[in-house]
Structure 1
Amino acid sequence: MPERASRRRIRSAAVASGAAALVGAAALAGCTAGPDGAGRSTPAPRSPSPSATPLWNVRPASLAAVGDSITTGFDACSVLTDCPEVSWATGTDGAVRSLAVRLLGAARAASHSSNHAVAGARIAQLPEQMALAAKERPELVTVMIGANDACRDSVRLMTPVADFRASFEASLRQLRGTAPKAQVYVSSVPDLKRLWSTGRVNPMGKQIWKLGICRSMLQDADDMGEAATARREAVQERVVAYNGVLRDVCAKDARCRYDGGAVFDYRFTGEQLSPWDWFHPGRDGQARLAEIAYRKVTAAGPPA
C-alpha cells in the first residue's frame, strides 16, 4: 500500500505539473478557455491606431476664389477697373503676395488657382460662382461677399438678413454637391462705416463717391445730421448681421473656416485704400487682406 500510494502521488504531481505547463503555454500563446473548455485565440494587443487625418489642411494645393469687387482688385490699379493681378486671393503681383502665392508659391499660383469673383456681385449670385469653382475641384475656396448687399442706393434696398442666409447656405450646398471635400475660407464683410470715416478726408475720393459708390453709406459724406447718421448706423448693423450669418452657417460645415471677424476688425488707413476711390482696397490693402487670409488658413485651429 505505501508503494502504491507513493506511485499515485507521483502520478498526481506529474498530471498537475503537466496541466500547469499547458496553462502556462496557453497563456503565452494568448489562449483562454471558452465556456465549453475549448481554447479560443485572444488577439494580440494592437498598437495605437494613427490619429485621423484632420479635416482642415493648412497647405491646400489648389485654390478658387469667389466674391465681389474686392476680390477682383477693383480700383486698385486704375479708376473704375478690375485688376485681378493684385487680388488678395489669387493675384500674381509680387508686392501683394496673394493667398495663392503664399500657399502655392509664385510658380504654381497662376496654374493652380482661379478667380470667379465679379465686381458688383451680391450674395444671390454666389451659388452660381460657387458652382463654377466646384467644377475645378479645388482644395480651397475663398469667399468674400456681402459688401454690395449693404451698399445699395438706399437702406430699404439692402438684402434682408434671411435672404442673405438662404443664399449663403445654397452656395455651400452647391459646392458640396460637386466638391464635398473642398475647404472654404470665409472672410468677414469689411467695416463699411470705418471705410467711410477714413475716406471722407480725401476731396477727390468724395467726388468719385458721387458717381454712385455705396450710396447707402457714402452718400452726402459730410452730412452729420440725424438722418444721415441713422442711415449709416443701419448699414453698419446690417453688415454686423451679415457677418453673424457667415459665422453661424460656416460653423455647421466641418470644412469651413470663418475669419473670426478679422477683416471687419482691420483698421484700414488711407495707405491701404484705392487712390482713385478711397473706398476699395488698393495694392497695400490687398496685401493686408492676403496676410489675414494666410494667417487664418494656416492656423492650427479656427479663430476662437
Structure 2
Amino acid sequence: MAARNLKGPEHVTLDDEGTEGTSMRNSRHRARAVVAVAAAALTGLATLTACDASGGDEAAPNGPTAQDRAHRKAEPVWDTSPRSVAAVGDSITRGFDTCSVLSDCPEASWATGSDSEVRSLAQRLLGKRRAATHSWNHAKTGARMADLPGQMERAAAHRPDLVTVMVGANDACRSSVDEMTPVAEFRADFEDALGTLRDERPRAQVYVLSVPDLKRLWSEGRTNQLGKQVWKLGICKSMLADADAMDAAAVARRAAVRERVVAYNAVLKEVCAKDLRCRYDGDAVFDFRFGTDLLSHWDWFHPSKEGQARLAEMAYEGVTSRRP
C-alpha cells in the first residue's frame, strides 16, 4: 500500500542520500561479535558455577535450579503499554502525499501524527497530550533499508520505549528490476540497524511492519486513468511502468518485484525473531486487502488519511496484543 519509497510506498526519485560504508558496518559487526562471545563465555562460567554449587542439575532444596532461572530470564518481555514512541522508515511514515501533492504530512503519519482523523499509534498508546511530547518521527521520504542505521541512531537518542519500523518498499521500487536492493544487503543493513539501537537502548521494544504488496497496489491503481498518468512520472518504475502492459516481459517483471518484497519480509521476520524485544507484524500489512479509497488521490501510491488510519489501527493491535 500505500511509501534508498508505499517505502511503504514512496517516491523513489527523492532518495539521494548516501549510504554507510561497508567497511564501517563490518567493523561494527566485528565489535559486536567480540562482545557477544565474551558475554557468552561469562554466562557459561556463571552457569557452571551455579550448577556446581547446587550439586549438578538437581534442584536446590530451597529454590529453582540455575537452569530454571536462566530459562525465565531468557523469556521475551513485551510491554503492551510503552510510554514513548520513535518512528523510523520511509515516506509512508512521513505521511507523504497524504495532505497535499509532493509533500510530507507528518501530522497525518500512522506512527506519530497528531491528526484526529488518523489517530496515530502514538496517540492510541500515549494519549493525545503525551504523544505530543513523547513521540518522534525520524523517517525520511525516499529512504531505503541502508538508511535505517542512521535513523535508528537518531531515534535511540530519545531513549524511546518503542521504536516502529516500516521500510523496504523503496528497495524494491527502483528504475529496473536489476537495481533492486539485493536480499543479502537488505539483511545486513537491517541487522546493523537493530545493532545500532541495541548499543544505545538494549531494552527498547521494536515493532516491525511488513513491506506492502506492491503488486496489489498496481492491480488496484491501474483501474484509475488519472493514477496511471501520475505513475508515468516515474513512481516505482520496477512495478508500475507500462501499467497496462500484459506481455510476458511485463508480467515477469512484476512477479520479480513481488518475489523480492516477499524475500524482504522473510528477512524482517527472521532477523526480528532473533531479538527478544522485537515483534514482526506477521505480514499483516503485506496481506492487507486495501482498495483505492485507502490510497492518496495525489499519486494512487501512498496511503490516504484513511489508509494511514488503518495502518495505525493495525499497528496498535499488534503492539498491544499479549502474543505476537
Into which bin does the TM-score normalised by the smaller protein fall?
0.7 to 0.9
Map Cα deviations across residues 211-264 of structure 1 (whole Å, 9 max, x no partner).
111000000001111101100000000000000000000000000000000000
Distance 1:168 1:45, change over 3 A: closer
Q: Secondary structure at the match of 1:277?
A: coil
Structure 2 residue aligned with 1:253, among 255, 264, 275?
A: 275
- What is the match of residue 275 of structure 1? 297
The answer to whether 1:66 aligns with 2:92 is: no
Q: Which runs of 5+ in 2 are unaligned?
A: 1-59, 64-71
Give distance in 1, aligned partners of 2:88 and 2:175. Answer: 24
The answer to whether 1:123 aligns with 2:168 is: no
The answer to whether 1:75 aligns with 2:75 is: no
- Give the C-alpha shift of residue 54 in structure 1: 6.1
Map Cα deviations across residues 164-207 of structure 1 (whole Å, 9 max, x no partner).
00000000000000011100000000000001110111111111
- Give the C-alpha shift of residue 279 in structure 1: 1.0
Following TM superposition, where does structure 1 have runs of at least 4 consecutive aligned residues deviating by more than 3 angstroms? 43-46, 51-54
TM-score when scaled to structure 1? Answer: 0.82
- What is the match of residue 309 of structure 2? 287
How do 1:64-213 residues align onto structure 2 when only pairs under 5 Å count?
Answer: 64-213=86-235
How do 1:8-23 residues align onto structure 2 when only pairs under 5 Å count?
Answer: none
Q: Give the AA of the match of 1:75.
A: D
Q: Secondary structure at the match of 1:110?
A: helix
Aligned length: 259
Percent of aligned pairs sharing the same letter: 68
RCO greater where, 1 or 2, for CA within 8 Å and sep 6 or more? 2
Give distance in 2, aligned partners of 1:224 and 1:54. Answer: 47
Which deviates more from structure 2 when the two are superposed, residues 153-162 or residues 53-62? Answer: 53-62
- Give the C-alpha shift of residue 110 in structure 1: 1.4
CA contact (8 A) 2:76 2:277 kept: no
Q: Give the AA of the match of 1:215.
A: K
Give distance in 2, aligned partners of 1:202 and 1:54. Answer: 46
- Give the C-alpha shift of residue 301 in structure 1: 1.1
Structure 1 residue aligned with 2:251, among 198, 205, 229?
A: 229
Q: Which runs of 5+ in 1 are unaligned?
A: 1-42
Map Cα deviations across residues 62-84 of structure 1 (whole Å, 9 max, x no partner).
00000000000011111111100
- Give the C-alpha shift of residue 44 in structure 1: 11
Give distance in 1, aligned partners of 2:194 and 2:122. Answer: 21
- What is the match of residue 322 of structure 2? 300
Give distance in 2, aligned partners of 1:108 and 1:119. Answer: 26
Map Cα deviations across residues 140-177 of structure 1 (whole Å, 9 max, x no partner).
00000000000000000000000000000000000000
TM-score when scaled to structure 2? Answer: 0.77
Give distance in 2, aligned partners of 1:148 and 1:44. Answer: 58
Q: Give the AA of the match of 2:285.
A: V
Q: Give the AA of the match of 1:197.
A: S
Give distance in 1, aligned partners of 2:199 and 2:98. Answer: 35
Give distance in 1, aligned partners of 2:61 and 2:104. Answer: 65
Distance 1:92 1:230, change over 3 A: same
Q: Secondary structure at the match of 2:133?
A: coil
